Structure 1
Amino acid sequence: MNSGRFITLEGGEGAGKSTQLRALAAALRARGLEVVETREPGGSEGAEAIRALLLTGGADRWSPRAEALLFAAARADHVEKTIRPALTRGAWVLSDRFLDSSRAYQGQGELSDADILTLHRIGSAGFLPDRTLLLTLPDEEAISRAKARDGDAADRIGGRANDFHRAVAAAFTRFASEETDRVHAVDASGPTDAVTARLLEAIEDLLP
């Protein structure tokens, strides 16, 4: 049996994570691999219920601390119920967002990166992906893509101010520079097929 691998796609709003996750999954299946496509928040029954709480309602529905705890709880269920069982049977798991999104989005202001990592250690035993693919775009292009996708219907996190999303992008860039073995930045500009090829190249060393 092939060894399962856990790959996460990260990046700010409008980077194309969902589109590329589907394309990457198709490319891996074409190589004969079993692939599980999942997302955060969500990916298991309990985590999907928490997702509905997190992404709906007013901007002030949750305090920063409550929001971080909810994300950590959703992730704990996701890891236990979906990710680890799939890896155990040898599947590849592709997730649209994971821990690094919590670090980038919730690890600002009241909470530090260390706080988010502590919650992850408690909730998910510090479990990390084999490879994190960070899709990067210039700020203005990302904002334009997100606007075209969501119009005026962005969720309570995606709809935050542009300054917030720029800070998120800066945090992702920092993770890629500090954790070069795990986090690989991938240019998300240009045709979809070209981006998918870059993603495949970034995981080539993990492929059987």
Structure 2
Amino acid sequence: MTKPGKFIVVEGLEGAGKSSAIATIRQWLQQQNVQVVCTREPGGTPLAEKLRNLVKQVDNDEQLAPQTELLLMYAARVQLLTNVIRPALNRGDWVLADRHDMSSRAYQGGGRQLDEQLINNLRSTVLGNTRPDLTLYLDIDPAVGLSRAAARGELDRIEQEQLAFFVRTRQKYLQIAATEPDIVSLDASQPLEIVQQNIINALQQHFKGQADG
């Protein structure tokens, strides 16, 4: 019987360095001879990518209601879990995700201040027993992160939110990270080399002897 794969998620605000972190993790896993499937949220399947566009694009004709945003996020997540993540884990592959459910809890729960029970009900229905084995949360001051994001180019609909939105989102991230043992919080404001080494240290500690291909 094939041993199920592991599920690793990278989380953080805009400008936290998720792309660099994912590259570091992917390289480390490949060095362990692990088969890696990379995903992103929202997105990761053809239909989920269409939903991503609905969430991200600026529409001056119609305001996207916070509850609609939340439901679109979970609709995309259902597609990704059903068609990519669960099949990969069942094959024994490792899944490396750019965002997952913690984002909805932080952005829609913290930033949008939506009802926590509504989110928990959706989580229970959509996720079932599929949960990350390890989540690396890259913590950064929202003002610093937004400055980094702006330097990359045009901002999407969510990135154009006011600073207070991201302050609330960060507070929720930190609250979740402080209470759940499979989430490791890392200081993303440090030099890249230090962040990368801290990521590798977290991987080695969490998956002692498990990444054996």
Structure 1 length normalisation: TM-score? Answer: 0.91
Contact kept? 2:13, 2:142, Cα under 8 Å: no
- CA shift, 1:125, in A, is 2.1
Structure 2 residues without counterparts, runs of 5 or longer? none
Structure 2 partner of 1:175? 176
Compute the displacement of 1:53 (Å): 1.1
Partner SS for 1:118:
helix
Q: Is the 8 A contact 1:40 1:95 kept in 2?
A: yes
Paired residue type of 2:173? F
Structure 1 gaps of 5+ residues are none
2:51 maps to 50
Give the match for residue 111 of structure 1. Answer: 114
Question: Which secondary structure state, in structure 2, belongs to the residue aligned with residue 132 of structure 1?
Answer: strand
The alpha-carbon distance between structure 1 residues 86 and 61, as it changes in their structure 2 partners (threshold 3 A), is same
Whether 1:68 aligns to 2:70 is yes
Measure, in 1, the Cα distance between the counterparts of 2:42 and 2:126: 14
Which 4+ runs in 1 deviate beyond 6 A? none
How has the CA–CA distance of structure 1 residues 77 and 30 changed in structure 2, closer, same or farther, with 3 Å as cutoff? same
- Equivalent position of 1:81 in the other structure: 83
The CA deviation at 1:2 is 5.3
| Counterpart residue number, 2:7 | 6
Shift of 1:102: 0.5
Distance across 1 between alignment mates of 2:31 and 2:116: 38
Mapped partners of 2:27, 2:137: distance in 1: 19
Partner of 2:199: 199
After superposition, the Cα gap between the structure-2 partners of 1:89 and 1:101, relative to the gap in structure 1 and judged at 3 Å, is: same
The structural deviation recorded for 1:126 is 5.4
CA displacement 1:9-32 (0-9 Å, x = unmatched):
111111011221122111211121
Residue in 2 that maps onto 1:148: 151
2:127 aligned to 107, 116, 124, which one? 124
Contact between 1:51 and 1:74, CA under 8 Å: does it hold in 2? Answer: yes
* 1:68-106 deviations in Å (ceiling 9; x for gaps): 111111001101111111111111111111111111111
Cα distance in 2, alignment partners of residues 126 and 154 from structure 1: 35
Alpha-carbon distance in 2 for matches of 1:58, 1:110: 22
Letter in 2 for 1:107: G
Q: 2-side partners of 1:160 and 1:126: how far apart?
A: 33
